[in-house]
Each structure stands twice: as C-alpha cells, then as structure tokens.
Amino acid sequence: MKVTEQTPSRMVLMGSPLMQMAAGGLVIAVALVFAVTLLRRGAPVGVLVCLPFVGIGIYQLVTARRVTVTADRSLGTVSIAWRSLLGAGENSVGIATIDRIAYREFTSEYRDRYGRHARRDSTSSLVLTDGTAVLLDREQDSSSRYSFSLPISRDLSADKELAMFLGVALIDNGIVVVAAQAQATQGAQAAQAEQVVQPTQAAPQAPAAQPAQAAARPAPVLYPAPVTLPRQAMVTPTEHPPWLR
C-alpha cells in the first residue's frame, strides 16, 4: 500500500494488485508455451506437468485484490474496501476502537538458476480493543537476481503513516516502532491546525473633535523664553573709558 491522499482530517491508502496479476499471467504464459512445445514434439503426457503451473497462475489472478483504506477523523471511522475478480466487499471500524496496528513479516530463502534469493510475506492488521484483528493488506515480495537484499516494504511505510495519523501504536513483529502517546499529540496538533481562526475585530476609533468645540477653546498664549545674560555682562568695569580721562 501507499498513501494516495492526505489532509488534516482524511487519509487514503491504496494497494495495487498489478504485480501479483503480472506474476500470475507470466506463470500461465510460460506454462502454455511449454505445453505447446511438448505437444509439437509428440509428448502429450508432458501437458499434465504444466497443469499445476497453470493452476498457480490462475490462483494468483483470482486472489489479486485492490485494497483501499480510508481513515476519516470527521466521521471517526476507518473503512477498508477491496475488489477482486471474485467480488468486492467493505468493512468499517471506529477509530476509538483501534488499539494498535500490527505488522508481521516472514522471510525465507530459495535458489534458482540465478542464485540465492530472499522472499518476504507480510500482513498488516488493525487490532481492536476487544482483541479482534481486521486485515488491512498482504504483501509478497522477492529480491531481484542482481541483489539478495529485499526492498523496503511498502506496507510498513504506509502503516507508519497511518499509525501517526490515527494516534495509535505500530507493532513490528513484537517491537514498538511508533508509540501511541507521541502520535496522539501530533494528531491533536493537526486537528488544531484545521480549525478556522476567526478574524479579530478592530477597536472602534474615537470620533474626531467637532469644529465648533475646537473653535470654542482659546488659543494658548506663548511667552518668550527668559533671556539669561552672561556673567561677564553684569560685572562693573574697573577702568574708565578713554574719553573720561
């Protein structure tokens, strides 16, 4: 699965069955080509060997499911819808009833003509407060012939995003990957960010003074500032002017 839509109040995850359907179709095509080759060589008994491979390919096509998980905070529900060649269905649980998300992964090794490879089978489930589990998605992946290491699980990354959105814990094979308390705080912050802030009203301004009132007031009288003479100007001269001598 991967996150295809996310808002502060809504998250949508989708799991595509294209890889599984492509693998099933490839198995059927190889088995049919092998059966036709045996028939041309006059070995009709070899066709029976191809029938199990055709059955495996058909099983892969029939069981391939498109899963859509929708978590809606405004409705308080998590809905899981799936569709396959056999039919469709939908299940819904309340967010308040979800205790945690459980991710389980099983790995194995096998050999082919290209060497040793690794295979991963994983499941993601919602564990409710009453102990029941609701399946989210299954994932099967294998390493390529150029590398023995497995790619990063898409379901595990999607489970982390969903756990953070719902504010619940994520348990990966018994190990707590996402704590519930920290994610609950993040969910509360996201809910606060969604609230609409009302604009504040400006304080009313005082009305301007009326012209009549302004005219009734007397104009202030301005007096000149006192002048301070320098100290030397107030000293009596000790000598007479030249014309009095």
Q: Is the pLDDT of residue 215 over 50?
A: no
Overall average pLDDT of the 57-62 stretch: 86
Q: Is the pLDDT of residue 92 over 60?
A: yes
DSSP class of residue 125 equals E
Question: What is the Rg, in whole angstroms, of the alpha carbon atoms belonging to the chain?
Answer: 42
Most confident of 47-56, 98-107, 194-203, 227-236: 98-107
Confidence band of 55 (pLDDT split at 50, 70, 90): confident
- Domain range annotation of the chain: 2-15+68-193, 18-64
Q: Is the pLDDT of residue 74 over 80?
A: yes
With residues binned 3-state (H G I as helix, E B as strand, rest as coil), the percentages for the chain, rounded to 5, are: 35, 35, 30
Residues 194, 9 contacting (CB under 8 angstroms)? yes
Tokens representing residue 135 in the block: 């399946």
pLDDT over 90, % of the chain: 24
Q: What is the helix (H) or strand (E) element at residue 92, kind and residue range?
A: strand 87-94
Query: CA separation (Å) from 132 to 98, 186, 234?
Result: 10, 26, 109
Q: Determine the pLDDT at residue 145.
A: 66
pLDDT digits (tens, 9 = 90+) for 170-187: 999 888 888 886 444 455
Q: Is the pLDDT of residue 188 over 70?
A: no
Q: Determine the pLDDT at residue 181.
A: 60
Residues 8, 194 contacting (CB under 8 angstroms)? yes
Q: Tell me the pLDDT of the chain averaged across its residues.
A: 76
pLDDT digits (tens, 9 = 90+) for 110-149: 777 777 778 888 899 999 999 999 988 888 777 776 666 7
Q: Is the pLDDT of residue 197 over 70?
A: no
Tokens representing residue 223 in the block: 């007096």
Overall average pLDDT of the 141-168 stretch: 83
Q: What is the helix (H) or strand (E) element at residue 211, kind and residue range?
A: helix 211-216
pLDDT over 70, % of the chain: 71
Strands 98-112 and 169-172 turn out to be parallel
Confidence band of 193 (pLDDT split at 50, 70, 90): low
Residues 138, 123 contacting (CB under 8 angstroms)? yes
Q: Determine the pLDDT at residue 1.
A: 84
Q: Is the pLDDT of residue 163 over 70?
A: yes
Q: Is the pLDDT of residue 233 over 50?
A: no
Confidence band of 164 (pLDDT split at 50, 70, 90): very high
Q: What is the helix (H) or strand (E) element at residue 99, kind and residue range?
A: strand 98-112
